[in-house]
Amino acid sequence: MREYNVAVVGATGAVGTKMIEMLETSSLPIKHIKLLASKRSAGKEKTFKGETVVIEELTADSFEGVDIALFSAGGSISQKFAPEAVKRGAVVVDNTSAFRMTEGVPLVVPEVNEEALKEHRGIIANPNCSTIQMVVALEPIRKKYGLDRVIVSTYQAVSGAGVSAIEELKQQARDMLDGKTEVTAEILPSAGDKKHYPLAFNALPQIDLFTEDGYTFEEHKMINETKKIMSDDAIKVSATCVRVPVLSGHSESVYIELKEAGATVKSLQEILSQAPGIVLEDDPAEQLYPQALTAVGKKETFVGRIRQDLDVETGFHMWVVSDNLLKGASWNSVQIAESLHKLNLVHVNQ
Amino acid sequence: MREYNVAVVGATGAVGTKMIEMLETSSLPIKHIKLLASKRSAGKEKTFKGETVVIEELTADSFEGVDIALFSAGGSISQKFAPEAVKRGAVVVDNTSAFRMTEGVPLVVPEVNEEALKEHRGIIANPNCSTIQMVVALEPIRKKYGLDRVIVSTYQAVSGAGVSAIEELKQQARDMLDGKTEVTAEILPSAGDKKHYPLAFNALPQIDLFTEDGYTFEEHKMINETKKIMSDDAIKVSATCVRVPVLSGHSESVYIELKEAGATVKSLQEILSQAPGIVLEDDPAEQLYPQALTAVGKKETFVGRIRQDLDVETGFHMWVVSDNLLKGASWNSVQIAESLHKLNLVHVNQ
């Protein structure tokens, strides 16, 4: 059996750390793992399957001999180094937004559009965390009843903004619990924006920067990526993306309108209970519904609170939760690598 | 000028405490204030406009000589004592859900339907916190363009669940920050339900108990109360109510579809900027949008992030925030009392 040299770019980040964990549990046959990060982190050590691995500084030549490179070190790093990796024969699975909407770059959630991998020319994009869990939940329903419309409001965890944002939230929470009236906010809602606000005991309706039309980039990501992954530009998608003081685990209040009539809460529950990557947690009588705290550390997408709209027959509401660092990022990337292996696509046809 | 004897029932609760504060700032001419609570709290002292007031035990006879009684001590207390107060000539403003949907009981948000007070027969109901701020934001838009449909997802603060729930959240947050893996959850999501879950660093898609159809009572409150306050049963309203780890200040992601075409983000901003009780905070370029932390302690409803749906011409999204203990409860009740005074309605016609 073929074995792969795998590189993780951004090995010390919140997602990179989880990528290493997910690779440890993966069925992907790994010959050698290379952990890459900035100069600052080079020389630090991590363990992989019990072995110590020294982190190396990322350079273009790091990818010599690498078969699969998982990137999660920010969009500008991917822009610069993903083509270098491909040039050296590696297939790149990129977890940043750098190439997601680029034509010719498959945007893949294996449960939804694994087949799109066949078109890859070296780079495969991993969708945005909040998009992934939503399309996992909606695709089985779409297959059966068609999907006319999606309106989603998100409750996103801070870990999507990185390790330092997690620490910022924790420090703010500690300070507020200690009765301090002024707390430090230097990162959230978006490190790249001008103003910063406390997230502790707050809800911030801004993730990423604003665009001209008043939507944020995060909201546009959910809208555009959903259409690309489902290969259907006609689906109406609308999103309001909100950061809440949760460490890990994105929750989503999702409203859908189906193309065809005939769906019931029961039929949707049945479809979802048999769908790949989904755990149905939907029993109001037992107060069973997905929660961020119970989803953390798990690879699946959890769906519950499915109910029919009271006015629109084809309208349904649901609550979708997943670990944004796992299915929303690292696990989906590793799944893509597994699919590439399964479909014998770990080679670059430029 | 007529001056009133005012009673506050539930004077030691989260809302009752704010009712006293709001009465202190109110223009309502108050002759005497009576603070009522359970036997357990009787004898404790509070101050009102610099004077010490001793809390008395609530009995039916407490209402002798009372003109206006503000209730916020739970539905069963209102069920039992509001009729007793009315029998003794007091007008009751009830902040519980006990009488909200009762025919003949006006359900009032002064900015929206002050006129409904004229029909009162002794009891006026104060709507649910999450409903109030939403109808304040939507009514000016409805007046101009008509309202066909509302889909709301809430981000509700814990203070709506009372003082002990606030303490529970704080303790959970402290314990989790200290690295404890087991935290105590005895109240949330609903004190009256079987199971309890941690809210700290979590999002709980349950407020109040579940009903047969999979919606919670809180969600039905938003749906039914909106129709009653706006006197329009044809408005399609749908709600997903979620508790988030915020101490005070409810946030709402609201999607609306208007009956008439022609609205723009600008026209809605203009309407809302001139509407009573609303502060428009809507400037994405300056990262200006409503936040729970900045709304707390203020009486207004804050609206921002207004944007047109990308597919539906009459569809608009917005973010609505207000202090659930003030406009969502105590301030709206005191406003009702002010309106009763202004309209000369502080008398009971049974």
Chain A positions in Cβ-Cβ contact with residue B245 (cut-off 8 Å)? 201, 244-246
Q: Which residues of B are catalytic?
A: 129, 250
pLDDT above 90: residue A350:
no
At A349 the pLDDT is 64
pLDDT above 80: residue A155:
yes
Contact A245 B246 (CB under 8 A): yes
d(CA A281, CA A283): 7
The Cα-based distances of A128 to A70, A92, A292, A318, B260 in angstroms read 15, 16, 18, 20, 36
A324 assigned to a ligand binding site: yes
Question: Could you tell me if residue A347 is inside a domain?
Answer: no
Q: Which of B244, B251, B303, B321 to mutate to test the interface with A (most CBs of A within 10 A)?
A: B244
- Tens digits of residue pLDDT in A302-312: 999 999 999 99
Contact A206 B242 (CB under 8 A): no
A117/A202 same-domain check: no
Nearest CA among B107, B112, B106, B113 for reference residue B127: B107
At A102 the pLDDT is 98
Comparing alpha-carbon positions, the chain A residue that sits nearest to B319 is A205
Q: Which of A129, A220, A241, A341 is the catalytic position?
A: A129
Contact A247 B204 (CB under 8 A): no
Q: Which of A201, A215, A247, A286 to mutate to test the interface with B (most CBs of B within 10 A)?
A: A201
At A181 the pLDDT is 86
A110/A77 same-domain check: yes
Nearest to A287 among B193, B203, B265 (CB): B193
Q: Provide the CA A300 distance to its chain's centre, in angstroms.
A: 12
Chain A positions in Cβ-Cβ contact with residue B182 (cut-off 8 Å)? none
**Other C-beta atoms lying within 10 Å of the C-beta of residue B346:** 17
Nearest C-alpha of chain A: how many angstroms from B57? Answer: 33
A152/A18 same-domain check: no
- State phi, psi for A317 to the nearest 5 degrees: -110, 150
- State phi, psi for B216 to the nearest 5 degrees: -90, 165
Nearest C-alpha of chain B: how many angstroms from A71? Answer: 28
B147/B87 same-domain check: no
- Tens digits of residue pLDDT in A25-46: 999 999 999 999 999 999 999 9
Q: In sequence order, what are the beta bridge partners of A258?
A: A147
Nearest C-alpha of chain A: how many angstroms from B246? Answer: 4
Average pLDDT of chain A, as a whole number: 97
A118/A184 same-domain check: no
Chain B positions in Cβ-Cβ contact with residue A175 (cut-off 8 Å)? none
Asked if A45 and A68 touch (Cβ cutoff 8 Å), the reply is no
Contact B253 A238 (CB under 8 A): no
At B348 the pLDDT is 79
A86/A217 same-domain check: no
The Cα-based distances of A159 to A105, A209, A323, B176 in angstroms read 26, 17, 10, 16
Q: Note down the domain range covering B171.
A: 131-323
Contact B289 A206 (CB under 8 A): yes
Chain B positions in Cβ-Cβ contact with residue A292 (cut-off 8 Å)? 201-203
Chain A positions in Cβ-Cβ contact with residue B255 (cut-off 8 Å)? 151, 238
Question: Could you tell me if residue B350 is inside a domain?
Answer: no
**In this structure, what CATH number is given to the domain that contains residue A298?**
3.30.360.10
Contact B193 A309 (CB under 8 A): no
Chain A positions in Cβ-Cβ contact with residue B147 (cut-off 8 Å)? none
A15 assigned to a ligand binding site: yes
- Tens digits of residue pLDDT in A120-130: 999 999 999 99
Question: Could you tell me if residue B189 is inside a domain?
Answer: yes
Coil vs helix vs strand at B343: coil
Question: Could you tell me if residue A10 is inside a domain?
Answer: yes
**Other C-beta atoms lying within 10 Å of the C-beta of residue A317:** 24
Question: Could you tell me if residue B347 is inside a domain?
Answer: no
d(CA A198, CA A188): 7
Comparing alpha-carbon positions, the chain A residue that sits nearest to B234 is A311
Contact A307 B246 (CB under 8 A): no
- State phi, psi for B7 to the nearest 5 degrees: -115, 140
d(CA A308, CA A273): 17
Nearest to B317 among A203, A240, A311 (CB): A240
B142/B123 same-domain check: no
Chain B positions in Cβ-Cβ contact with residue A291 (cut-off 8 Å)? 197, 202-205
At A152 the pLDDT is 98
B274/B307 same-domain check: yes
**In this structure, what CATH number is given to the domain that contains residue B15?**
3.40.50.720
Q: Which of B134, B152, B153, B211 to mutate to test the interface with A (most CBs of A within 10 A)?
A: B153
Question: Could you tell me if residue A182 is inside a domain?
Answer: yes
Contact B247 A201 (CB under 8 A): yes
Contact B253 A204 (CB under 8 A): no
B156 assigned to a ligand binding site: yes
Asked if A30 and A6 touch (Cβ cutoff 8 Å), the reply is yes
Has A250 been annotated as catalytic?
yes
Contact B307 A206 (CB under 8 A): no
- Tens digits of residue pLDDT in A166-184: 999 999 999 999 999 899 9
B248 assigned to a ligand binding site: no
Question: Could you tell me if residue A135 is inside a domain?
Answer: yes
B324 assigned to a ligand binding site: yes
Chain B positions in Cβ-Cβ contact with residue A153 (cut-off 8 Å)? 153, 240, 253
Contact B293 A223 (CB under 8 A): no
A148/A30 same-domain check: no
Radius of gyration, alpha carbons of chain A: 20
Residue type, A208: D
B216 assigned to a ligand binding site: no
d(CA B218, CA B250): 13
Question: Could you tell me if residue B349 is inside a domain?
Answer: no
B123/B29 same-domain check: yes
A202/A223 same-domain check: yes
Low-confidence ranges of chain B (pLDDT < 50): none
Question: Quick check: ipTM above 0.95?
Answer: yes
Instruction: For residue A237, name the pLDDT band (cuts at 50, 70, 90).
Output: very high
Contact A205 B304 (CB under 8 A): yes
A14 assigned to a ligand binding site: yes
Nearest to B202 among A174, A193, A292 (CB): A292
d(CA B226, CA B232): 8
At A216 the pLDDT is 98
Nearest C-alpha of chain A: how many angstroms from B181? Answer: 11
Nearest to B246 among A177, A203, A238 (CB): A203
At A1 the pLDDT is 76
A64/A136 same-domain check: no
Number of domains in chain A: 2
pLDDT above 80: residue A286:
yes
